[in-house]
Amino acid sequence: MERKWWKESVVYQIYPRSFKDSNGDGIGDLQGIISKLDYLKTLGVNVVWLCPVYKSPNDDNGYDISNYQDIMDEFGTIADWEMLLQGLHDRGMKLIMDLVVNHSSDEHAWFAESRKSKDNPYRDYYIWRPGSDGREPNNWGSFFSGSAWQYDEATDEYFLHLFSKKQPDLNWENEKVRREVYDMMTWWLDKGIDGFRMDVINLISKVPGLPSVPVEDGESRPYHFGGDYFVNGPRVHEYLQEMNREVLSKYDIMTVGEAVDVTPEDAALYVGEDRDELSMVFHFELMGVDSGPGGKWDCKPWVLKDIKDIITKWQTLLSGKGWNSLYLNNHDQPRMLSRFGNDTDYHKESGKMLATLLHTLQGTPYIYQGEEIGMTNVKFDSISHYKDIEIINMHKEYLEAGHKEEDIMNSIYIKGRDNGRTPMQWSSEPQAGFTTSTPWLAVNPNYTEINVENALADPDSIFHYYKRLIELRKEHDIIVYGDYKIVAEENERVYAYQRALGSERLLVILNFFGESASFELPAEVGISEPELLIGNYDVGQAEDVRSLELRPYEARVYKFS
């Protein structure tokens, strides 16, 4: 497999609104990030992915962009941004920017023009349709509840918005839209950035005619997921190849596309090494492991077998074809430690066990801010404390549909996006040292214990374990490039796998539960002179690796030849 800097990197994701407030208005900002660059350098990450910092009315915290070539007032100025880029580059780190071009804000100048009249030159920048029998043009639902269409009086037509009604979808069929996007990308790349994370990039091509989702007789819900008509749509690869030819191929950069609902087979078409599209994609299969047929809010417990099957499938099917991205949480997901570990009794142990998984698979790991100190989910006692548009809309829709408040709040506690958006916990000072005033979203009350200051001071902290894992990836090519093979697949409590590169072998053993677990290494796995590279407990010298009694959430990584 071809060596690339982005395969050997560890990425750190920053959600600027919640990272660090420098001027006491309760909102994180660019100067706040700049003040923490040495912290990131200490951790050892190579790349920072910055969630959107562009001009935005913040209906969806920056994922609704009103000017792609300027900075949001609350975050600072373009001069602050230049200083951030320089600060990263000076420290040997790279910067990738979020690219949100499936949709813009309805406050973007293009949309202001587009809605004026049917013959406006910008009309076709967006997707407008007349109503059908006095209703929406089709029955697609928005990701954020309700219809995917919004009626606009000025021209008596509807516009498409797969997300909120303040996020109209851009019309990628229009060559002019594509040109605008490519020029804007070039403008940022010429400023020296090192790549893009592309928001819902596999939704940009819609099936012509925008057909309704077929429904059975007697179906009472008015809106349905229209994924068949826009997930991996008919022209998406043509667009990405064009983007690659016109823009990406001219720079030494990395790209990661957020790809809703993709299988490894779909992903190979985006990231195949001979495809000239993207470096890697974020898939959602693992993030769906604890959802029932009713979707995200239909919460059910995960089963280790499903986690193993999903990871194994992605590791093997993409192997030799394209590169994996690795993540266990982000700004849209609950905190990994609360979701897959145990955030009360085994905070440190399970945080480190999950970190071991993240860093020892084939692919590029993405750490989400706060993960490295073991930040956890929150439970605010009332919906009024939540800020996320997805949560607020879902709460309203489910109440109207007759669900109980208690059940709705419970789903929010498990899956709500604000779990991952509470302010970064820097210290035990008021407001976790995030701000000197009232933060835009309340801090997690556990900041008095879980914070960066404590993590740095404790040599045994989750933070120092992350730092070591990142170093190990730099010291051992096998961790980055080695092939993956599952080991002792039938073990219901332990996830183990082998990596192989040339004559080298790596063995990773992870106890996924809060009880001790037996692990027998199958005879066909050869081990000579095992060397423990890292583990989250003390390990005796004389132990027989062939037969282990693992402690709660114990993780071990052995190297042998």
Cα 14 to Cα 131, 295, 359: the distances in Å are: 41, 27, 18
Report helix, strand or coil for 23. coil
Q: Is 199 among the residues known to form the active site?
A: yes
Q: Looking only at residues 434 through 473 of this chain, which bind Ca ion when binding is defined by CB under 5 A?
A: none
| Partner whose footprint covers residue 388, from ligand ISL, Ca ion, none (CB < 5 to 8 Å by kind) | none
Contact indicator for 128, 195 with CB cutoff of 8 Å? no
**Any contact of residue 34 with Ca ion (CB under 5 A)?**
no
Cα 482 to Cα 1, 35, 157, 498: the distances in Å are: 10, 37, 54, 9
Report the 10 Å Cβ neighbour count for 26: 18
Shortest reach from residue 417's CB to ligand ISL, in Å: 6
Report the 10 Å Cβ neighbour count for 513: 18
501 closest CA partner among 360, 366, 365:
360
Separation between Cα atoms, residue 9 and residue 47, nearest integer Å = 7
Shortest reach from residue 347's CB to Ca ion, in Å: 30
Shortest reach from residue 401's CB to ligand ISL, in Å: 18
Catalytic residue among 199, 277, 290, 554: 199
Q: Which residues contact 452 (CB under 8 A, 6 or more apart)?
A: 39, 373, 424, 425, 426, 427, 433, 463
**157-160 sheet: strands from edge to edge:** 128-129, 157-160, 149-152
| Partner whose footprint covers residue 169, from ligand ISL, Ca ion, none (CB < 5 to 8 Å by kind) | none
Closer to Ca ion at the Cβ: 346 or 440? 440
Q: Which amino acid is at 408?
A: I
Closer to Ca ion at the Cβ: 21 or 258? 21
Closer to ligand ISL at the Cβ: 111 or 484? 111
Among 27, 170, 337, 373, indicate the residue that binds Ca ion (CB under 5 A): 27
Separation between Cα atoms, residue 34 and residue 368, nearest integer Å = 17
The CA dihedral of 61, 62, 63, 64, to the nearest 10 degrees, is: 100
Full DSSP string of 102-117: SB--TTSHHHHHHTT-
DSSP type of residue 475: H
511 closest CA partner among 368, 371, 322, 341:
341
* Axis crossing angle, helix 175-190 with helix 236-246, rounded to the nearest 10: 40
| Partner whose footprint covers residue 29, from ligand ISL, Ca ion, none (CB < 5 to 8 Å by kind) | Ca ion
- Give the binding-site size for Ca ion (rule: CB under 5 A): 5
Separation between Cα atoms, residue 477 and residue 465, nearest integer Å = 19
The gap from C-alpha 361 to its chain's centroid, in whole angstroms, comes to: 17
100 closest CA partner among 201, 179, 29, 30:
201
Shortest reach from residue 95's CB to Ca ion, in Å: 20
Among 14, 29, 95, 398, indicate the residue that binds Ca ion (CB under 5 A): 29
Shortest reach from residue 257's CB to ligand ISL, in Å: 11
Closer to Ca ion at the Cβ: 68 or 440? 440
| Partner whose footprint covers residue 251, from Ca ion, ligand ISL, none (CB < 5 to 8 Å by kind) | none
Among 10, 21, 308, 357, indicate the residue that binds Ca ion (CB under 5 A): 21
Among 23, 212, 393, 436, indicate the residue that binds Ca ion (CB under 5 A): 23
**Any contact of residue 80 with Ca ion (CB under 5 A)?**
no
66 closest CA partner among 25, 36, 29, 106:
106
| Partner whose footprint covers residue 417, from ligand ISL, Ca ion, none (CB < 5 to 8 Å by kind) | ligand ISL
Among the listed ranges 27-35, 276-284, 395-403, 494-502, the one in contact with Ca ion (CB under 5 A) is: 27-35
Shortest reach from residue 253's CB to ligand ISL, in Å: 20
Contact indicator for 543, 556 with CB cutoff of 8 Å? no
Shortest reach from residue 21's CB to Ca ion, in Å: 4
Shortest reach from residue 323's CB to ligand ISL, in Å: 20
Among the listed ranges 21-29, 241-249, 300-308, 536-544, the one in contact with Ca ion (CB under 5 A) is: 21-29
Shortest reach from residue 141's CB to ligand ISL, in Å: 11
542 in the Ramachandran plot: left (φ > 0), alpha (ψ -120 to 50) or beta? alpha
Closer to Ca ion at the Cβ: 27 or 494? 27
Closer to Ca ion at the Cβ: 26 or 374? 26
Contact indicator for 495, 517 with CB cutoff of 8 Å? no
Closer to ligand ISL at the Cβ: 236 or 479? 236
Separation between Cα atoms, residue 367 and residue 11, nearest integer Å = 6
Binding interface with ligand ISL (CB under 6 A) = 60, 63, 100, 143, 163, 199-200, 258, 260, 296, 331-332, 417
Q: Looking only at residues 388 through 407 of this chain, which bind Ca ion when binding is defined by CB under 5 A?
A: none
**Any contact of residue 25 with Ca ion (CB under 5 A)?**
yes
Shortest reach from residue 25's CB to Ca ion, in Å: 4
Closer to Ca ion at the Cβ: 27 or 185? 27
**Any contact of residue 82 with Ca ion (CB under 5 A)?**
no
Closer to Ca ion at the Cβ: 20 or 197? 20
Full DSSP string of 351-403: HHHHHHHHHSSSSEEEEETTGGGT------SSGGG---HHHHHHHHHHHHTT-
Closer to ligand ISL at the Cβ: 260 or 462? 260
Catalytic residue among 29, 60, 258, 371: 258
Q: Is 258 among the residues known to form the active site?
A: yes
Among the listed ranges 18-26, 87-95, 468-476, 536-544, the one in contact with Ca ion (CB under 5 A) is: 18-26
| Partner whose footprint covers residue 21, from ligand ISL, Ca ion, none (CB < 5 to 8 Å by kind) | Ca ion
Catalytically active residues, by annotation = 199, 258
Instruction: List residues near Ca ion by CB under 5 A.
Output: 21, 23, 25, 27, 29
